[in-house]
């Protein structure tokens, strides 16, 4: 499979690792915002293992989970400043820096995960990752956060059930607009505040993939999950451009060579964990409901004209479902 895992600015015409040797051990630090049980954390541990092996122990990757390096937006800002070396973040904060990345957040754009992979690993994904070069970042890969579903303290089976529901969303204008159209009252909120806000009734619900719901123990404050699958949630693997260019070529090459295998592993873990964790959530008393998404789809897709995303790109993404 042809994984899209580097920008044109990151293409390196170098020999395979081992032709030279690093003068000292290189330490690479990667931060992310999810728990250690999330597939992205497991994928980063796999990347660290592969890079250490391929570099004969000369490169160590340290992984900092659960917002240890800051909230997601802070980590993205840190990439531009060079204070954060690498991060994997949801699309929410990214669109504030690269608005065209918001096309991936349009509701009901992808038919299934395989459709998303074809887009991310093909020319569309490569083109998008290349654009990070203009904002002092390096786009390395698009991983999987998962299909976003709605959770609340009551069943949500039709758009009418969302009327007046205070629903936490990411600070993402596409998500916010979609839920406004669906009749909810979207509340953009940093993730670190969500659990407490749900418990205190500041918000009524939220929307996230199953793995996020499970690894953050949201079953303690939410009783129902609606399998709306309204958005496929990408995880953007990014590096600070200034830091990336400061590393020896051997370091960059070792990371780039390991990324395809780590990407495949991360996506496989996402599918495995979603199935396992859905079963465990039911054991914990969470009601998980399948619904007819057609009414949600019809309303939410009306926001497409509210944004200035290139219609040709949207059509190319949709066409990829048929390949």
* Topology, domain 8-322: D-Maltodextrin-Binding Protein; domain 2 (3.40.190)
pTM to 2 decimal places: 0.89
> Tell me, what's the pLDDT at 13?
30
> Tell me, what's the pLDDT at 234?
97
The residue extents of the domains of the chain are 8-322
Residue 269 makes CB contacts below 8 A (sequence gap 6+) with: 39, 42, 43
252-301 tens-digit pLDDT: 999 999 999 999 999 999 999 999 999 999 999 999 999 999 999 999 99
**Is residue 26's pLDDT more than 70?**
yes
| Bridge pairing between strands 166-169 and 59-64 | unpaired
Q: Which residues pair with 143 in a beta bridge?
A: 235
Q: What span, in angstroms and rounded, lies between the C-alpha atoms of 104 and 96? A: 14
**Is residue 241's pLDDT more than 60?**
yes
179-222 tens-digit pLDDT: 999 999 999 999 999 999 999 999 999 999 999 999 999 999 99
For residues 251 and 22, is the Cβ–Cβ distance under 8 A? yes
Mean pLDDT value of segment 236-263 = 97
- Supply 165's token pair: 């529901």
Strands in the chain per DSSP E: 26-32, 59-64, 86-90, 137-152, 166-169, 185-188, 205-208, 224-240, 287-290
Q: How high does pLDDT run on average in the chain?
A: 92
155-176 tens-digit pLDDT: 999 999 999 999 999 989 999 9
Which one, of 118, 75, 113, 121, lies nearest residue 94 by Cα? 75
> Tell me, what's the pLDDT at 16?
36
Q: Quick count: other Cβ atoms within 10 Å of Cβ 297?
A: 14
- Supply 142's token pair: 């698009």
Residue 207 makes CB contacts below 8 A (sequence gap 6+) with: 148, 149, 150, 151, 167, 168, 169, 175, 179, 228, 230, 231
Q: What span, in angstroms and rounded, lies between the C-alpha atoms of 290 and 295? A: 13
Q: What span, in angstroms and rounded, lies between the C-alpha atoms of 124 and 29? A: 28
**Is residue 8's pLDDT more than 90?**
no
| Banded model confidence at residue 14, pLDDT cuts 50, 70, 90 | very low
Q: What span, in angstroms and rounded, lies between the C-alpha atoms of 195 and 191? A: 8
> Tell me, what's the pLDDT at 323?
74
**Is residue 115's pLDDT more than 90?**
yes
């Amino acid at each position: 499979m042809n994984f899209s895992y580097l920008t044109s600015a990151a293409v390196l015409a170098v020999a395979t690792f081992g032709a030279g040797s690093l003068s000292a051990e290189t330490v690479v630090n990667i931060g992310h915002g999810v728990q250690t049980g999330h597939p992205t954390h497991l994928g980063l541990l796999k990347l660290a293992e592969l890079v250490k092996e391929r570099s004969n122990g000369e490169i160590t990757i340290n992984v900092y989970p659960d917002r240890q390096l800051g909230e997601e937006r802070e980590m993205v800002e840190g990439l531009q400043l060079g204070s954060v070396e690498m991060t994997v973040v949801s699309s929410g904060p990214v669109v504030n820096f690269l608005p065209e990345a918001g096309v991936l957040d349009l509701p009901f754009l992808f038919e299934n995960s395989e459709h998303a992979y074809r887009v991310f690993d093909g020319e569309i994904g490569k083109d998008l990752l290349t654009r990070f070069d203009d904002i002092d970042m390096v786009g390395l890969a698009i991983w999987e956060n998962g299909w976003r579903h709605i959770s609340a303290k009551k069943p949500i089976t039709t758009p009418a059930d969302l009327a007046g529901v205070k629903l936490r969303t990411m600070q993402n204008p596409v998500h916010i607009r979609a839920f406004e159209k669906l009749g909810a009252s979207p509340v953009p909120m940093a993730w670190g505040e969500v659990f407490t806000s749900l418990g205190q009734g500041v918000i009524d619900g939220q929307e996230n993939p199953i793995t996020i719901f499970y690894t953050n123990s949201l079953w303690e404050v939410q009783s129902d999950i609606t399998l709306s699958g309204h958005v496929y949630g990408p995880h953007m693997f990014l590096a600070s451009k200034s830091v990336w260019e400061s590393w020896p070529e051997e370091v960059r090459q070792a990371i780039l060579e390991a990324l395809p295998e780590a990407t495949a592993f991360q996506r496989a873990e996402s599918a495995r964990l979603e199935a396992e964790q859905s079963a465990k959530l039911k054991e914990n008393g969470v009601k998980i409901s399948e619904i007819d998404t057609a009414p949600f789809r019809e309303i939410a897709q009306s926001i497409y004209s509210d944004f200035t995303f290139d219609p040709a790109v949207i059509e190319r993404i949709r066409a990829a479902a048929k390949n």
